[in-house]
Amino acid sequence: MNILLLGYGKMGKAIEQIALDRGHQIAGRIDADNYTDLTNLEPDDVDVVIEFSSPESAAENITYSLGRGWPVVSGTTGWLSRRADIEAICQNKKGAFFYASNYSIGVNLFFRLNKTLAQFMRNYPSYHVSMTEIHHTEKKDAPSGTAITLAEGVMEHLPTKHRWISNEAGNDASPVGEDAIEIESLREGTVPGTHTVRYDSDVDQIEITHTAHSRQGFAVGAVVAAEWIVGREGIFGMDDLLGN
């Protein structure tokens, strides 16, 4: 399978190594420095695109790829205000688009655990829910896409919560109403990603945490998604891949 990498930072390089280890070829490595090389690729040169670029360029990259008839697996976060437009383009082109805020199998199990815990907690309003996410200092968006997905999972099952509020470290905290989930974002060293969901009361605290030890789990999931999407048509996510 010929894979085009759109975005060749640390994540792109990790995906490349996994793809090569699994017997695939790299059709191109495109980042901001050689973006014009993208036009040199013919439709038949690429079987699938794996897009981990930047919030500023993701929608353009995905639109271009779908226009060329290439299935797209995207993991870039921070651009989702344009997601509906991208999905409409995908449907119009009869293409294939796979998006996940996090491709780690462990994180996706954590998403399910988070929803189950929220279901339990809906009967105990004395607990206040909040979140913390920690990532490396090069991550551009905050809160992380994974944290937003976690917040959405809580809101799905806690009827008193309708929105989330981002409180980045070093900024003045925004007031948090009873209907909001506070997400604290910390940027430290080379941390691949740590996410904590906590429920606090006057008498105790319950929390669940997922800690990534490296980018490898994300990279493996992205390559598996790329293998899975080739030959399909439609809009997909990790639940489709995992069969749930």
Class of CATH domain 2-103+216-242: alpha beta
Q: Is 3.30.360.10 the CATH classification of the domain at 105-211? A: yes
Q: Which backbone phi and psi does 4 adopt, to 5 degrees?
A: -95, 125
Q: Is 29 one of the annotated binding-site residues? A: yes
Q: In what order do the strands lie in the sheet with 25-30?
A: 25-30, 2-6, 48-51, 72-74, 96-99, 234-236
Q: Mean pLDDT, to the nearest integer, of 157-175?
A: 77
Q: Is 102 one of the annotated binding-site residues? A: yes
Summarised one tens digit per residue, pLDDT across range 79-88 is 989 999 999 9
Summarised one tens digit per residue, pLDDT across range 55-70 is 999 999 999 999 999 9
Q: Mean pLDDT, to the nearest integer, of 119-145?
A: 93
Question: Residue 61, class by beta-carbon neighbours within 10 Å (0-12 exposed, 13-18 middle, 19+ buried)?
Answer: buried
Summarised one tens digit per residue, pLDDT across range 187-239 is 999 998 999 999 999 999 999 999 999 888 899 999 999 999 999 999 999 98
236-144-22 Cα angle (round to 5): 50
Domain 2-103+216-242 and domain 105-211 have a common topology: no
Domain ranges of the chain: 2-103+216-242, 105-211
Is the pLDDT at 175 greater than 70, yes or no?
no
Is the pLDDT at 96 greater than 90, yes or no?
yes
pLDDT of residue 177: 80
pLDDT of residue 237: 95
Instruction: Grade residue 140 by pLDDT with cuts at 50, 70 and 90.
Output: confident
pLDDT of residue 174: 53
Report the catalytic residues. 135, 139
Q: Is 162 one of the annotated binding-site residues? A: no
Q: Is 145 one of the annotated binding-site residues? A: yes
Q: Which backbone phi and psi does 138 adopt, to 5 degrees?
A: -85, -10
CA distance to 8, 222, 241, per residue, from 105 (Å) = 22, 10, 10
Could you tell me how far CA 158 lies from the centroid of its own chain? Answer: 23
